[in-house]
Amino acid sequence: MQLPTLPKANTPSIQKFITPTIRVFMPLVYYLLLSALLFGIGVAGVLLRRNAIVIFMSIELMLNAVNLTFVAFAAHLKNLEGQIFVFFVMIVAAAEVAVGLALIVAIFRVKATVFVDEINLMKW
């Protein structure tokens, strides 16, 4: 479909400096390994920490590691879909954080603790 054409920006070619187009990237493997490491650190945080807030932050770290993978692939496969997907991941993460933190606040009101090993009402 035909978009209304924007007036040609009169900005100088500062844009070239601000957002230069990079044509050659680091090899993909490095990005993947890095995001894998970040993901692993996030998993360790989820499994090892007691504080619910810190666990939540570790989950955010995991999500971001995945985001990094997406963007890396988008760059290397020359496909914009990866970045679009990252956009949506961020939206979902935002909504999730809002609701999750509200939940933690609600639980705190009842149990007066944020330590997950003290919240075991579902124990058999």
Q: Which residues within the stretch 18-57 sit at the binding site for other proteins (CB under 8 A)?
A: 18-19, 21-34, 36-51, 53-57
Number of residues that bind other proteins (CB under 8 A): 88
121 forms part of the interface with other proteins (CB under 8 A):
yes
DSSP structural state of residue 25: -
Per-residue burial over 13-30, b = 16 or more CB atoms within 10 Å of its CB, e = otherwise: eeeeeeeeeeeeeeeeee
CB-nearer residue toward other proteins: 14 or 47: 47
Give me the least distance between CB of 62 and other proteins, in Å please.
10
93 forms part of the interface with other proteins (CB under 8 A):
yes
96 forms part of the interface with other proteins (CB under 8 A):
yes
Alpha helices in the chain (DSSP H): 14-18, 28-48, 52-76, 81-111
Give me the least distance between CB of 7 and other proteins, in Å please.
13
The CA angle 118-122-124, to the nearest 5 degrees, is 110
66 forms part of the interface with other proteins (CB under 8 A):
no
φ, ψ dihedrals at 56, nearest 5°: -60, -40
